[in-house]
Structure 1
């Protein structure tokens, strides 16, 4: 189906297959830029605002590639009561790198990791495939705006299948536990939906790395 047909499907009929069809259609389709510059969305993050129409001439893929390098999301038809789709920044850079907006529909857990004593842990710095240099810089800029100058990270896994991106609590200034969930949710906008984010103390863990 073409993009203009898909956005006419009633909301209650939009299932997982609709989402797959929409992803396919928008990567090869055209949209119209509503404004030349990113705009702040209701969630506080910057988005390029686009609309679908029969006379749309801008390749959506080109806009998404640009947004991936700039730390910007993409909203499709935000003039509706509910936009037809909102792509977070994490979805766009993951698409740029892999051709996929996310790996699975399951929401990765965000929260606390508890290690049993003696449990093996595989850990190291984030590879460029896992976290490209330009993405690291954009997340660093976000932290700089929060007066966090040297955030530290560690990618760790207990089974070498599922990886957690851990942020050092010490490097974030040891925020109170009541703020941990909000920080993790903010960071999740910068990362694909299937990434697991945790905030942990560096004590007892392998060496953390500057973001």
Structure 2
């Protein structure tokens, strides 16, 4: 195996965190998918944020192809944390970022956009609403999201993909199916759901009463 393939990745993670920018990030993503890593522990570990991650480290001698590992964790609802042995990991990939790369060859789309948990419609305004397609949410990722919600005691979670212009979409989760949590919990719930989805997806918690169209089971 040509271990020189690992040098670009090793060089990039040796750049101080304070000197990294979006250009560094693009180069880092490319070097990661082209290179290898070492798996630090055989089983996923719980990160400080409470989510499961495979802990990996960079090395010129690393032999585990990054793409092969990411394919494996994309089927299991696991994120990826790089060089956690450092004071600050070099990068942490949520599960949503992992499957986003598998489907689109991009970890991050439109960087800088944020998750929202509110949506407003004008009276009489026409909207587009449907069951999220497999292109938008692949079956394996949908099943993992559903299992997470079921593990929280939500037996029939429901959602609806909504757009006002067919350009920007909101993934609307039914408040009723989530047990009508109090409003002060909505942001935390949306942030938890966002870990399972690409970073540019907009997540909204809404009442089914606001729509004439039926919601779909996650």
String of CA shifts for 1:18-74, please: whole Å, max 9, x gaps: 000000000010000000110000000000000001110000111111111100000
Mapping of residues 128-147 of structure 1, within 5 Å = 128-147=134-153
- CA displacement at 1:107 relative to structure 2: 2.0
TM-score scaled by length of structure 2: 0.95
Alignment partner of 1:8 is 2:14: yes
- C-alpha distance in structure 1 between counterparts of 2:210 and 2:31, whole Å: 48
Q: Number of paired residues?
A: 211
Alignment partner of 1:81 is 2:87: yes
Alignment partner of 1:208 is 2:215: yes
Alignment partner of 1:28 is 2:2: no
- C-alpha distance in structure 1 between counterparts of 2:140 and 2:59, whole Å: 32
Where do 4+ consecutive residues of structure 1 move more than 6 Å?
none
Equivalent residue for 2:130, pick from 120, 124, 129: 124
Equivalent residue for 2:109, pick from 71, 89, 103: 103
- CA displacement at 1:111 relative to structure 2: 1.6
Gaps of 5+ in 1: none
- C-alpha distance in structure 1 between counterparts of 2:69 and 2:77, whole Å: 12
- C-alpha distance in structure 1 between counterparts of 2:131 and 2:158, whole Å: 10
- C-alpha distance in structure 2 between counterparts of 1:108 and 1:207, whole Å: 27
Q: Hey, what does 2:190 align to over in structure 1?
A: 184
- C-alpha distance in structure 2 between counterparts of 1:188 and 1:48, whole Å: 19
How well do the aligned residues superpose, as a CA RMSD in angstroms?
0.9
String of CA shifts for 1:102-138, please: whole Å, max 9, x gaps: 2110223412101110111001000001001111110
- C-alpha distance in structure 2 between counterparts of 1:64 and 1:155, whole Å: 27
Q: Specify the SS of the correspondent of 1:37.
A: coil
